[in-house]
Amino acid sequence: MSEKLNIEVPTMAELVARGEQPEILFWVGCAGSYDERAQKTTRDICKILHHVGIKYAVLGTEESCTGDPAKRAGNEFLFQMQAMTNIEILNGYDIKKIVTGCPHCFNTIKNEYPGLGGNYEVIHHTQLIQDLIAEGKLKAEGGESFKGKKITYHDPCYLGRANGVYEAPRKALEVLDAQLVEMKRCKSNGLCCGAGGAQMFKEPEKGNKDINIERIEEALETNPGIIAAGCPFCMTMLSDGVKMKDKSDEVQVLDIAEITARANGL
Amino acid sequence: MISQILFIAIIIAAVVLFSINVKKVIRNIRLGRDADRSDQPSKRLMTMLKVAFGQSKMVVRPIPAALHFVVYAGFVIINIEVLEIMIDGIFGTHRIFGGLGTLYNFLIGSFEILALGVWLACVIFLIRRNILKLKRFMASELEGWPKSDANYILFTEVLLMTAFLLMNAADAKLQTLGLSHYTAAGSFPVSQFLIPLLPDQPSVLIALERGCWWFHIIGILAFLNYLPYSKHFHILFAFPNTYYSNLEPKGEFTNMESVTNEVKAMLDPSFVPAEAAAGRFGAKDVNDLTWINLMNAYTCTECGRCTSVCPANITGKLLSPRKIMMDTRDRMEEVGKSLDQKGPGLEDGKSLIDNYITREEIWACTSCNACVEACPINIDPLAIITELRRYAVMEESQAPTSINTMLGNIENNGAPWKYSPADRFNWAKEN
């Protein structure tokens, strides 16, 4: 199952020491590195990369926050400090292509780093999975069957509206032969989980409801077995929502990478 | 002859007054900082044609989209009639284009059908606002003037269309009476049904026809001059606003150049910035925003599609993206008035932040871009919220405590939580 990591995760430092260069750098992100729930997704992304035999590496302890929450909170100084430090490391390793495990890192590196000297081809892990499926390198076999299971996908704002990536995560789910159901507010009309714009790190303002509850109620209306996520922050908000609604026994919140890994028995 | 002189005088007065007011509006917009949106002209033109001219973003809500399209098409097409009114008014002619024969009949006929459509659509809009009380139109920021503004616009359009149809009905009846001035011209598919309601005396009919003619043209000119005071300005600003709208991915926030220089100098002491940073970081007041932000505010027609999809607003928080735009315009008007009366150097102790937009509002935003996506004419409330946050954080160091903690963590640990950078790779070793 997807808990254990029996593979060695290569770091850039190790690769360079061996005089090698990866095909793709996996940018893990802070949530993926430290948040226990998100770590599972991180390990599953590594398993997928390993499984298909892509030569990849991570920065390990050389990675640092992209600066996204600082920028959304209005601290441009801190954002650019982080960005320039990261760019120095990435350029130092001559990185060309990056896959991120988080839509926020994805958006920041893809859109905001070029202006500061960091030019890379950046994709989100759901796009990588979609590509691998399209190339025939990844299927949904040898693992857990999702056939007929009801799955609803929650669009992360920074993947969907912010960057127009709506199809990749859905394509990644389509191979499962599951029953995909859309929430009322989906794709460009998707409702935020409530974590964006640095909300993740503070208490919400006074109101009559928490945003993740509003969202989870809508998700539960579809009667899903699984709520699929593509963002570690959405994962936290949605999982909390499911817990608050006492639905943890019936409804799982899983990242698309986790679902893919399970379907392939990784 | 007297009526021709009067007509020309009214036209000149209306155009002069409108130009003066538009100049003031442009001056107010220019209070904003520079922003370069001169790139990709063909893509910008396409965006304008698609979003403003083609109303592509309206279709999300089919009912108002259809009604709005009728009013929009009516406005654009019926205004061809204004050209004839102008010529008739200046030269004392009557239905100068009447000689076009069948084409003219077709045009007048289509104007009439559109006029009826506009009339009905505006009545339905009035019902939606005042009787059905749609949630979108009941928000607190609309109380008072904004609500009246909307009703005045719709009511005026109903009156204008009524006058247009009555004028045609009277004209049609006069044409059958064989008066020399009223030669047969036009077809009247709608107003023919009004004819039986009209009196038979030619003098009364002429008075009615002339009265409606003058009401129609003066009404249009008055309406034009009402625009600078109204949310209805969108009928003009929708075009430049979409042309200059953001073409980059919505998630991309601007990188502040002034900060880049300072950060580069910090990381590399030998770096010499090209020029010293000017002004403050972020926006405290309207003049700290860009001219795009300010044009956005004049463009907003307060439809509330942004607010109705805002996750913060939906869950009862104070934030309303529509209010952000309305506040920006109100403050800009206030600064503009002070410029008119007292010249530059306004020190009224007020600012956009705090006096108009509160901290509670700006910190409730999730930066999800739903408001930006929802706006039918590409207004960007998030850009203003971001600038206000930048001011609060970088100039004042005033952010919610937990935000400051998060920022401190990034600064010290390279992560928004209090974990050691040395532990960053532990996920690969554990379990």
Q: What is the ipTM of this complex?
A: 0.95
Q: What φ, ψ does residue A151 adopt, rounded to 5°?
A: -125, 130
Q: Do B312 and A205 touch (CB under 8 A)?
A: yes
pLDDT value for B430: 60
pLDDT value for A1: 42
SS3 A196: coil
Q: Classify residue B262: in a domain, yes or no.
A: yes
Tens digits of residue pLDDT in B100-133: 888 999 999 999 999 999 999 999 999 999 999 9
Residue B337 has pLDDT above 70, yes or no: yes
Tens digits of residue pLDDT in B294-311: 999 999 999 999 999 999
Q: Are B190 and B281 found together in one domain?
A: no
Residues of chain A with Cβ-Cβ distance to B390 below 8 Å are 74-76
Question: A129: burial class by Cβ within 10 Å (0-12, 13-18, 19+)?
Answer: buried
Q: Classify residue B425: in a domain, yes or no.
A: no
Average pLDDT, chain B: 93
CA distances from residue B143 to B69, B297, B340 in whole angstroms, order as listed:
27, 18, 27
Among the candidates B214, B243, B272, a domain finishes at B243
Q: Classify residue B369: in a domain, yes or no.
A: yes
- Report the alpha-carbon distance of residue B431 to residue B429 in Å, rounded: 7
**E strand or H helix at A140:** none
Q: Are B325 and B224 found together in one domain?
A: no
Any idea what the CATH number is for the domain that residue B314 is in?
A: 1.10.1060
Q: Are B24 and B100 found together in one domain?
A: yes
Question: Which residues have C-beta within 8 Å of that of residue B359, sequence separation ≥ 6?
Answer: B353, B392, B398
Which regions of chain A are under pLDDT 70? 1-4
pLDDT value for B250: 97
Q: Do B367 and A70 touch (CB under 8 A)?
A: no
Q: Which of residues 110-169 of A touch B (CB under 8 A)?
A: 110-112, 115-116, 157-158, 161-164
Q: Which of B314, B366, B402 sits opposite A201 (nearest CB)?
A: B402
What value does the mean pLDDT take over residues B354-365? 97
Q: Which residue has the tokens 């996204």?
A: A68
Among the candidates B194, B218, B243, a domain finishes at B243
pLDDT value for A207: 95
pLDDT value for A2: 44
Burial A144-170 (b: 16+ CB within 10 A, else e): bebeebbbbbbbbbbbbbbbebbebbb
Length of chain B: 431
Contact by Cβ (8 Å): B307, B322: yes
Q: Classify residue B250: in a domain, yes or no.
A: no
Q: Do A43 and B427 touch (CB under 8 A)?
A: yes
Contact by Cβ (8 Å): A37, A235: yes
Q: Do B364 and A189 touch (CB under 8 A)?
A: no
Residues of chain B with Cβ-Cβ distance to A115 below 8 Å are 255
Contact by Cβ (8 Å): B293, B387: yes
pLDDT band (50, 70, 90) for residue B278: low
Q: Are B273 and B219 found together in one domain?
A: no
> DSSP assignment, residue A205?
P
Greater pLDDT, A232 or B340 = A232
Count structural domains, chain B: 2
Determine the residue of chain B that is closest to A46 in CA distance: B428
What value does the mean pLDDT take over residues B143-172? 95
Q: Do A81 and B368 touch (CB under 8 A)?
A: no
Question: Which residues have C-beta within 8 Å of that of residue B263, sequence separation ≥ 6?
Answer: A77, A80, A81, A84
Q: Are B218 and B263 found together in one domain?
A: no
What value does the mean pLDDT take over residues B349-357? 96
Cα A190 to chain center, whole Å?
A: 17
What value does the mean pLDDT take over residues B224-232? 96
Residues of chain B with Cβ-Cβ distance to A3 below 8 Å are 431
- Report the alpha-carbon distance of residue A187 to residue B431 in Å, rounded: 36
Question: Which residues have C-beta within 8 Å of that of residue B383, sequence separation ≥ 6?
Answer: B246, B290, B292, B293, B296
- A136 CA to chain B: closest CA distance, Å? 28
Q: Are B271 and B321 found together in one domain?
A: yes
pLDDT value for A64: 98
Residue B275 has pLDDT above 70, yes or no: no
Residues of chain A with Cβ-Cβ distance to B407 below 8 Å are 70, 73, 75, 78
SS3 B271: coil
pLDDT value for A40: 96
pLDDT value for A3: 56
- How far does chain A reach from its first CA to its final CA, in angstroms? 7
pLDDT band (50, 70, 90) for residue B407: very high
Tens digits of residue pLDDT in B82-103: 889 999 999 988 888 888 888 9
Q: Are B328 and B239 found together in one domain?
A: no
pLDDT band (50, 70, 90) for residue B179: confident
Closest CA to A28 of A86, A84, A101: A101
Q: Are B183 and B289 found together in one domain?
A: no
Neighbours of B286 (CB within 10 A): 27
Domains and CATH numbers, chain A: 12-130 (3.40.50.1860), 141-263 (3.40.50)
What value does the mean pLDDT take over residues B333-344? 90
Q: Which residue has the tokens 């530059």?
A: B344
Residues of chain B with Cβ-Cβ distance to A82 below 8 Å are 410, 414
**E strand or H helix at B203:** helix B202-226
Does residue A234 belong to the interface with chain B, where contact is any CB pair within 8 Å?
Answer: no
Tens digits of residue pLDDT in B244-262: 999 999 999 999 998 998 8
Q: Do B315 and A210 touch (CB under 8 A)?
A: yes
Determine the residue of chain A that is closest to B315 in CA distance: A209
- Report the alpha-carbon distance of residue A118 to residue B185 in Å, rounded: 69
Structural domain for B364, as ranges: 258-413
Q: Classify residue B429: in a domain, yes or no.
A: no
